[in-house]
């Protein structure tokens, strides 16, 4: 992996392009940008990444447009977008479509790693993601890159919620001079109705993805200005685990899930009875602490206020009917909201797997959807641009395995292992 450092580190984050990194099948540009904190007022600096194919990087091909990618749930800083380098990632798949992809590290990661990640604070997250997108396009222009005037909005899981909030802010006119509309939105697995999600969890007293609950509660407690203490919701033993598990930003979601299963639930069944980690207050909507949290669950959902994504030309949703992390009721309630508010330019594709495998399905679905997307009036332009880049893939000992293969096909065809793509070692896990 080759990197070009463009700026010395300082104690205060500088803004602008920081470095360029060759990741084999694509390039990643890291940059810092000015945005606004979750309070809607305080200026802050966050970090973000730009992803593009080698042919776009070398300017031998004009990109088909730019995609705003809203990142999925992460808990460790190593998983941030500005650390992505693998061929076999959502970023790798999407950038291989010859769109330039721009993705913010968001709150709590990258240059902002010392702070709370403000999980699922919808308006605040969408705002910093839009600001990253606009700042990223300005950097591209400064670097002499040209691209078609096509805008995509993408994301899965947390990114599905954030992506829908991006649609909402664009509809409201946020930075409309620079981002007047979205041509295509492809999102999936999003918690669009977090209050209904909470009610289901409380009624069933069970979760198969326990890392999400502390993240959600933390995000809503932060949104409420810390009027609620973690000890109001979580029992003392689990509350004592929270700083190491979450504030350290050292443990990924798999590690945290397994830690919670082993110490509080069932590692064999991969499940947790919630009353093993929460207090009785969690189940009581009339409890003062839960009243505050429920208020913010509703505020950060997308189905409790009258609005429609009127400046997004089309939305393609993906969700699994068997999703054990973000129940399908989120999709049903989002669909009802859109219909009730007069928005019909959408479609829904349902899968039947669990949440994480459906994330892989989303990646293939989104890559296919945007590869084949032709905006009205741009048929001639897009007919001359390859739908996806292709690559020669070698074994670790130098044998040519596939010639001119797309990342999507490689992702589906190759077993786990180490490969050589464009002179770089690539690991498929």
**pLDDT tens figures, 251-279:** 999 999 999 999 999 989 889 999 999 99
- pLDDT grade, residue 111 (50/70/90)? very high
Answer whether residue 411 shows pLDDT above 80: no
> How many residues would you count in the chain?
429
Co-location of 208 and 73 in the same domain: no
Same domain, 238 and 378: no
Strands lying side by side in the sheet with 424-428: 400-405, 391-395, 417-421, 424-428
Residue 341 has pLDDT above 50, yes or no: yes
Report the distance separating Cα 15 and Cα 4, nearest Å. Answer: 17
How many folded domains does the chain comprise?
Answer: 3
Rounded to 10°, the helix 158-172/122-142 angle is: 80
Q: Is the pLDDT of residue 151 over 80?
A: yes
Q: Which of 280, 299, 318 is the last residue of a domain?
A: 299
429 has a pLDDT exceeding 90: no
- pLDDT tens digits for 20-65? 999 988 999 999 999 999 999 999 999 999 999 999 999 999 999 9
With bands split at pLDDT 50, 70 and 90, how would you rate the model's confidence at 8?
A: very low
| CATH number of 36's domain | 3.40.50.1820
The angle formed by the CA atoms of residues 197, 203 and 208, to the nearest 5 degrees, is 65
Predicted local distance difference test score (pLDDT) of residue 11: 55
- Over residues 156-161, the mean pLDDT reads 99
What local confidence, expressed as pLDDT, does residue 4 receive?
Answer: 44
Q: Show which of 269, 299, 329 is a domain's final residue.
A: 299
State the average pLDDT over residues 116-138. 98
pLDDT higher than 90, residue 410: no
User: Do 21 and 50 form a contact (C-beta atoms < 8 A)?
Assistant: no
Q: Is residue 222 located within the same domain as residue 362?
A: no
Identify whether residues 231 and 160 lie together within a single domain.
no
205 with 343, same domain: the answer is no
Per-chain mean pLDDT for the chain: 93
Does 204 lie in the same domain as 178?
A: no
**What sign results for the dihedral spanned by CA atoms 9, 10, 11, 12?**
negative
Token pair 């206020």 in the structure block, residue: 305
Same domain, 110 and 227: no
One DSSP character per residue, 369-418 reads HHHH---TT-HHHHHTS-SS--EEEEETTS-EEEEEE-HHHHHHHPPSEE
Q: What confidence tens digit (pLDDT) does each residue in 356-403 have? A: 999 999 999 999 999 999 998 898 888 777 777 787 888 888 888 878
The angle, 0 to 180 degrees and rounded to 10, between the axes of the packed helices 194-204 and 288-299 is: 140
Q: Please report, rounded to a whole number, the percentage of residues in the chain having pLDDT higher than 90.
A: 81
- DSSP single-letter state for residue 13: P
Same domain flag for 158 and 75: yes
Domain that holds residue 180: 2-193+305-383
Same domain membership, residue 95 and residue 243: no
3-state helix, strand, coil split of the chain in percent (to 5) is: 40, 25, 40
Mean pLDDT, residues 185-206: 98
- Do 166 and 31 lie in a common domain? yes
* Structure-token pair, residue 289: 């602490």
Helix axes 194-204 and 212-223, enclosed angle (nearest 10)? 130
pLDDT category at 2 given cuts 50, 70, 90 is very low
Q: Work out the percent of the chain whose per-residue pLDDT is above 70.
A: 97
| 313 neighbors 184 (Cβ within 8 angstroms) | yes
Pairwise CA distance, residues 198 & 304, whole Å: 15
Contacts of 117 (CB under 8 A, 6+ apart): 106, 107, 108, 109, 215, 218, 219
Please tell me whether residues 276 and 341 are part of one structural domain: no
The verdict on 179 and 292 lying in the same domain is no
Q: Residue 357 contacts by C-beta under 8 Å, 6 or more apart in sequence?
A: none
What token pair was written down for 413?
């065809």
From 254, 273, 299, the end of a domain falls on 299
């Amino acid at each position: 992996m080759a990197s070009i450092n463009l700026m010395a580190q300082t104690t205060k984050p500088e803004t602008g392009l920081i470095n360029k990194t060759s990741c084999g099948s694509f390039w990643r540009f890291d940059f810092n940008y000015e945005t606004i904190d979750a309070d809607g007022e305080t200026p802050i600096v966050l970090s973000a990444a730009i992803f593009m194919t080698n042919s776009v990087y070398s300017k031998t091909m004009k990109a088909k447009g730019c995609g705003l990618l809203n990142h999925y749930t992460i808990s460790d800083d190593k998983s941030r977008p500005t650390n992505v380098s693998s061929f076999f990632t959502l970023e790798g798949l999407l950038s291989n479509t010859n769109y330039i992809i721009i993705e913010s590290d968001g709150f709590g990661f990258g240059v902002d790693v010392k702070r709370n990640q403000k999980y699922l604070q919808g308006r605040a997250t969408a705002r910093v993601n839009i600001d990253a997108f606009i700042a990223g396009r300005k950097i591209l222009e400064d670097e002499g890159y040209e691209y078609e005037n096509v805008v995509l909005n993408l994301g899965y899981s947390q990114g599905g919620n954030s992506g829908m909030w991006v649609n909402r802010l664009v509809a409201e006119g946020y930075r409309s001079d620079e981002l007047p509309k979205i041509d295509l939105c492809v999102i999936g697995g999003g918690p669009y109705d977090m209050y209904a999600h909470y009610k289901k969890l409380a009624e069933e007293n069970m979760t198969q993805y326990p890392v999400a609950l502390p993240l959600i509660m933390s995000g809503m407690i932060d949104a409420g200005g810390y009027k609620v203490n973690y000890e109001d919701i979580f029992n003392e033993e689990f509350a004592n685990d929270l700083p190491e598990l979450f504030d350290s930003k050292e443990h990924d979601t798999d590690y945290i899930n397994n830690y919670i299963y082993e110490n509080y639930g069932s590692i064999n069944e991969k499940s947790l009875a919630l009353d093993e980690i929460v207090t009785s207050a969690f189940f009581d909507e009339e409890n003062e602490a839960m009243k505050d949290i429920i208020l913010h669950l509703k505020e950060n959902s997308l189905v409790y206020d009258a609005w429609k994504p009127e400046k997004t030309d089309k939305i393609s949703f993906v969700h699994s009917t068997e999703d054990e992390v973000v129940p399908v009721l989120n999709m049903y309630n989002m669909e009802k909201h859109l219909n009730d508010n007069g928005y019909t330019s959408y479609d829904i594709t349902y899968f039947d797997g669990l949440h994480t495998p459906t994330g892989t399905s989303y990646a293939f679905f989104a890559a296919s959807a945007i590869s084949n997307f032709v905006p009205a009036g741009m048929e001639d332009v897009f007919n001359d641009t390859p739908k996806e880049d292709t690559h020669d893939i070698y074994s670790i000992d130098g044998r040519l395995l596939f010639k001119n293969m797309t990342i999507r096909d490689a992702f589906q065809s190759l077993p786990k292992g180490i490969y050589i793509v464009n002179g770089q070692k690539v690991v498929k896990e």
